[in-house]
Amino acid sequence: MISVSISRARYFGPFNDTLGLTNVPTAHSIDGSSTLAFGLQKGVPVVARSLPPRSQGGCLNIGIPLSRLAHADPTGRNAGWVFYAHYGYDQVLARDVRREGGGRQKGDVAAGTLQYKLNKFVSFVVEESLYRTRALPLTSTGNFPLFEGRPMREWKDFRSEIGPIFTF
């Protein structure tokens, strides 16, 4: 079983295009979900355009039925072994991140999952995953954004998860 899915990244919210504007104050929107920017364009007051960041990305999932490959007895205890591999990638175009002031640009995740199905109600799962985020320097300071309290270009989070799954 192999499934491939390409998805658009949903990395950041909209950003204000203040290119060509002078004297740019900001204000929160009514619901507080974003910030509005105003400015002067050739002496005329205007509201900055709110643009979504352009992005690309996708994911790949592969499921391998280990028990079938090992020709396990379908009624025996070794019939429920499955391995899943997952990789996902999201990237905002670098020019959009720079126009926002720098910060997080790319992220990816790689995960491997080993699953054993004891019966139709209970499965046990072990998963190892690596989450990685890469960034561009901040325009205001020239430094990279803070991860774990210090400026870093790349941040990694390695996770191990184990547990049962109950299906009713």
Task: Summarize pLDDT for 78-135 with one digit per residue, the tens.
Answer: 888 999 999 999 988 888 777 777 778 899 999 999 999 998 899 999 999 999 999 8
Q: Tell me what pLDDT residue 104 has.
A: 81
138 Cβ neighbours under 8 A, 6+ residues apart: 101, 102, 103, 144, 145
Q: pLDDT at residue 7 above 80?
A: no
Total Cβ atoms within 10 A of residue 146: 12
Single pTM value for the model:
0.68
CA proximity to 105, closest of 118, 120, 94: 94
Q: Which residue shows structure tokens 């547990």?
A: 163
Task: Summarize pLDDT for 37-82 with one digit per residue, the tens.
Answer: 888 888 888 888 887 778 888 999 999 999 999 988 888 888 889 9
Q: Tell me what pLDDT residue 33 has.
A: 66
